[in-house]
């Protein structure tokens, strides 16, 4: 067992040392489709992506943010699987993507490929873990790092009864010391950043101070420097997980205040953010913005993010090109086996034509069980032809 001082020495350099997101990594060079073998050389690291917090006020050269979590897509169970992340990555090159929450035990004792596999070109991508047992979490974090994830995130915000039964998720906000033990064990096991996602409070506790104490404790006892804060409480007594994303009031000012009081931390705000204007406004106060439901239901909202928030002048993806990629991806995935069906892929694309004429036809065709049963990606092209004909660029 290392002393705390030795652990701190060991951990600190890891903050800027993350696997390269932009260049093809060693792991990928040998594999055509999947990153499904543990990386041999996870220590081949570059300074990109950079985990160093950026001061919002120093925002005169926006492309300094490439490689940071300035924009991220939230972890969403059943939604942000690798097929959704493939789609998102075709739309935005730089946005940080999060996996669904995966229980540490499922990784340690289950089919690792099933839980950890991701697509080439998907990075920067973070693995979110659920759990509260330091050894289990450390083991799962190590597996995630070996698969090539760029970050391991600990879920301290999920309010579901199932998660509460396992004594993790949002109820961990009442146990800062245990969270510190978990984060330390995880960070000792990997060389990529270990981060935390949490709420602003639990149940009807509405004061700012317990939130500051939680963050302050973790800051003092761990090397964690990235805090993703869903700006509403989790009410553990009676609201469903879905209600818990809408009913408790948003208090963005608490998250801004965290950034003011802990300027050395990377503070990322989350909850109810849907437009680029809102994102830009939040970025005046915090280091990053995480968006969940809007990025899922209206993926093309991400189309402008690279230009607006990362200073990347590359032309945004065209609908027709995106549809072509989605078609090719579907065919490849279905042929590759592993039980992937067309429905697994296109269910994440139903909102892709949001705002266009015939968006409803697109949605209907791609969710029609009869049409999907042939498992033929050409359905995507057929649905697209309907949309293309009905819009002015056709």
Ligand X SMILES: Cc1cc2nc3c(=O)[nH]c(=O)nc-3n(C[C@H](O)[C@H](O)[C@H](O)COP(=O)(O)O)c2cc1C
Q: Considering the rule CB under 6 A, would residue 158 count as an interface residue with ligand X?
A: yes
Confirm or deny that 11 is annotated as ligand binding.
no
Q: Which of 292, 299, 351, 377 binds ligand X (CB under 6 A)?
A: 292
String of contacts with ligand X for each residue 293-312, x by CB under 6 A = xx------------------
Q: Tell whether residue 157 is among the known ligand binding residues.
A: no
What's the rounded Cα separation, in Å, for the pair 99 and 119? 12
Which residues neighbour 71 within 8 Å (Cβ) at sequence distance 6 or greater?
A: 92, 94, 95, 96, 279, 288, 289, 290, 291, 305, 309, 310
Short-list 58, 88, 46, 47, CA closest to 71: 88
Q: Is position 276 annotated in a ligand binding site?
A: no
Q: Does 236 bind ligand X (CB under 6 A)?
A: no
Contact assessment for residue 90 and residue 322, using Cβ atoms and an 8 Å cutoff: yes
Residue with tokens 């509405």: 206
Alpha carbon distance 82, 346 (integer Å): 12
Residue number, 124 or 271, with CB nearest to ligand X: 271
Among 69, 112, 230, 251, binds ligand X (CB under 6 A): 230
For ligand X, the binding residue among 272, 288, 299, 351 (CB under 6 A) is 272
Applying the rule CB under 6 A, the residues between 183 and 222 that interact with ligand X are 197
Residue 117 in the binding site for ligand X (CB under 6 A): no
Half-sphere exposure of 178 (CA within 13 A, CB side): 15
Q: Report how far apart, in Å, the C-alpha atoms of 298 and of each of 44, 80, 277 are.
A: 36, 14, 16
**Of residues 197 and 363, the one with the C-beta less far from ligand X:** 197
> Cβ distance 257 to 224 under 8 Å?
no
Could you give the string, one character per residue 315-354, with x where binding to ligand X holds by CB under 6 A and - elsewhere?
----------------------------------------
Q: Which is nearer to ligand X, 27 or 101 (CB)?
A: 101
Active-site annotation holder among 158, 171, 182, 224 = 158
The secondary structure element, H or E, covering residue 255 is: helix 252-261
Q: Which of 15, 39, 101, 137 binds ligand X (CB under 6 A)?
A: 101
Q: Which stretch binds ligand X (CB under 6 A): 115-123, 286-294, 329-337, 385-393?
A: 286-294
Q: Cβ-count burial of 24 within 10 angstroms (0-12 exposed, 13-18 middle, 19+ buried)?
A: exposed
Q: 279: Cβ–Cβ under 8 A, 6 or more apart, which residues?
A: 71, 273, 289, 291, 308, 309
- How near is the Cβ of 327 to ligand X at its closest, in Å? 26
CA distance 118 to 116: 6
For residues 245 and 216, is the Cβ–Cβ distance under 8 A?
no
Residues 41-100 that bind ligand X (CB under 6 A): 74-79, 100
Among 225, 245, 259, 303, binds ligand X (CB under 6 A): 245
> Residues in the site for ligand X, rule: CB under 6 A?
74-79, 100-101, 128, 155, 157-158, 197, 230, 245, 270-273, 291-294
Binding-site members for FMN are 75-77, 128, 197, 230, 270-272, 292-293
Catalytic sites, residue numbers = 158
**Binding-site annotation, residues:** 75-77, 128, 197, 230, 270-272, 292-293
């Amino acid at each position: 067992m290392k002393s705390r001082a030795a652990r701190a020495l060991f951990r600190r350099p890891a903050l800027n040392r993350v696997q390269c997101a932009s260049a093809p990594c060693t792991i990928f060079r040998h594999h055509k489709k999947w990153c499904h073998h543990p990386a041999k050389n996870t220590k081949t690291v570059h300074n990109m992506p950079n985990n160093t917090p950026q001061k919002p006020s120093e925002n005169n050269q926006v492309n300094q943010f490439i490689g940071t979590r300035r924009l991220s897509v939230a972890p969403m169970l059943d939604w942000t699987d690798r097929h959704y992340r493939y789609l998102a990555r075709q739309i935005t090159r730089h946005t940080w993507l999060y996996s669904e929450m995966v229980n540490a035990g499922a990784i340690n004792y289950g089919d690792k490929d099933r839980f950890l596999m991701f697509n080439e070109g998907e990075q920067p991508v973070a693995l979110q873990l659920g759990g509260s047992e330091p050894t289990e979490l450390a083991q799962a974090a190590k597996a995630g790092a070996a698969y090539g994830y760029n970050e391991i995130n600990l879920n301290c915000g999920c309010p579901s009864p199932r998660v509460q039964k396992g004594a993790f998720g949002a109820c961990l906000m009442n146990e800062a010391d245990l969270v510190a033990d978990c984060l330390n064990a995880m960070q000792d096991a990997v060389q990529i950043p270990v981060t935390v996602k949490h709420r602003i409070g639990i149940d009807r506790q509405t004061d700012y101070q317990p939130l500051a104490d939680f963050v302050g404790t973790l800051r003092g006892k761990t090397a964690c420097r990235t805090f993703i804060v869903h700006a509403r409480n989790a009410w553990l007594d009676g609201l469903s997980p879905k209600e818990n994303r809408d009913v408790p009031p948003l208090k963005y000012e608490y998250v801004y205040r965290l950034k003011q009081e802990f300027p050395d931390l990377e503070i990322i705000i989350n909850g109810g953010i849907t437009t680029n204007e809102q994102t830009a406004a939040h970025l005046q106060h915090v280091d990053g913005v995480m968006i969940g439901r809007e990025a899922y239901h209206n993926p093309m909202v991400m189309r402008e993010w690279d230009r607006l928030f990362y200073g990347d002048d590359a032309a945004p993806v065209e609908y027709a090109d995106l549809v072509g990629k989605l078609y090719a991806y579907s065919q490849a995935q279905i042929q590759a086996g592993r039980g992937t069906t067309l429905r697994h892929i296109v269910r994440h694309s139903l909102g892709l034509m949001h705002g266009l004429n015939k968006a409803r036809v697109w949605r209907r065709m791609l969710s029609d069980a009869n049409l999907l049963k042939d498992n033929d990606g050409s359905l995507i092209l057929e649905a697209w032809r309907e949309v293309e004909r009905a819009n002015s660029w056709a």
